[in-house]
Amino acid sequence: MLLIGATGGVAYMLLSAHSTNRDLADVQITEVKRSEQPFLSQSDLEKIDDRFLFRAVAEEVVHSVVYIEVISESSDQDDSSIWTRILPYHEQSLGSGVIISEDGYILTNQHVIENALDDGISVTLHNRKTYRAVVIGTDPSTDIAIIKIDAADLQPVTMGNSDQLHVGDWVMAIGNPFRLRSTVTAGIVSALSRDVQVIDHPYRIESFIQTDAAINRGNSGGALVNTSGELIGINTAIAAERGNYQGYGFAVPSNLALKVARDLMEFGTVQRGLLGVTIQSVDSRLAEREGLSRVSGVLITNVARKSAAEEGGVKESDIILKVNQKRVHQTNDLQVEVALYRPGEELTLTLWRDGGEVEKSVRLKEFNSDELQQDSTSDP
């Protein structure tokens, strides 16, 4: 009886399945077409929005950005210990750099290669070739350095004009955060001419480009480029409580970085002109008192004797409005404008004096820190 019941159950299941299959819709074989060309081409998209340029820019610029590893003596070791004298502790750090010439000159931050041991700087290109680098020169006041590798036919970056940047412009940061090589992030220019006091130098020059493109440890010395693929900044610092990205990154403007780079490549040191004044930014109360139409400019509170400013006819209580027809809004604007020129070069200053504008020509003198007043607002 059990055998008969089991046989009947199997037969019922087979008949039920056969009946269900007859109720299904007939399916015919068809072809799924795949388009090899998008509805809108890349060039069409690039015309619609600058953001669609990112792919082309990234493909071009990553070849100009390098990965830097540095071996330096540990800053925490006990120099009095006999063991550390025999076997000193070494630290390894990393950063980024930007190729600026076909024959191997690389622009980076001074703090990236600071305290490097002899033969302790290693540079890896995008094609994974590795070279030893030598230091050509450094400038702690701008946190810029030049190193060089023995290579040829490299792909240098195209230098841009950072003076043409505007808040809201699209930018891309390219570097090596957390050893993640050739990382590309995008954002906008969040602000210009930022003085955030991150450079540890008595005569620091800070007029950073602020961006919300993600910048983290390892991005230092890397490229900040515009949508034309031009270098408009050297990524230098982040503003974060824990040392990681929180929406604020800062880059040295390319015009200042290039001037420093040229000096280091030609002379080994920075050729910086001295104006010889003590300054402070104009506030709303001062602007109203002096009859200025806007809160802008830099007040001269002291003129050094025999300085370029004194010999050029600049006086105490003058307000500098422009340098070579470029408006300066605050003290760091003036510092950067002066830093772009070498000793012996001439500047035209537009001054506000006695309720009107006057122009004075000033020939810069050579920078000498011993001659400067010990004042954080002194303009080198």
Residue 201, pLDDT score: 87
Residue 376, pLDDT score: 36
Q: Which of 122, 220, 296, 378 is catalytic?
A: 220
Residue 198, pLDDT score: 86
Residue 265, pLDDT score: 95
**CATH number 2.30.42.10 given to 273-379:** yes
Q: Which of 64, 139, 143, 379 is catalytic?
A: 143
The yes-or-no answer on residue 143 being catalytic is: yes
Where b means 16+ CB within 10 Å and e means fewer, 324-360 reads eeeebbbbbbbbbbbbbbbeeeebebbbbeeeeeeeb
- Please, which contacts does 263-270 make with residues 24 or more away whose CB atoms are closer than 8 Å? 263/137, 263/139, 263/342, 264/136, 264/137, 264/138, 264/139, 264/144, 264/145, 264/146, 265/105, 265/136, 265/137, 265/146, 267/137, 268/136, 268/137, 269/137, 269/139, 270/137, 270/139, 270/141, 270/142
Residue 375, pLDDT score: 38
**CATH no., domain 59-149:** 2.40.10.10
Residue 196, pLDDT score: 86
| Residue ranges, the chain, pLDDT below 50 | 20, 372-378
Residue 240, pLDDT score: 66
Domains 59-149 and 158-267 share a fold: yes
Q: Which CATH superfamily is domain 158-267 in?
A: Trypsin-like serine proteases (2.40.10.10)
Q: Which of 96, 111, 122, 333 is catalytic?
A: 111
The yes-or-no answer on residue 220 being catalytic is: yes
The yes-or-no answer on residue 111 being catalytic is: yes
Residue 72, pLDDT score: 87
Record the pTM.
0.81
Residue 304, pLDDT score: 92
Residue 378, pLDDT score: 47
Residue 138, pLDDT score: 95
Domain residue limits, the chain: 59-149, 158-267, 273-379
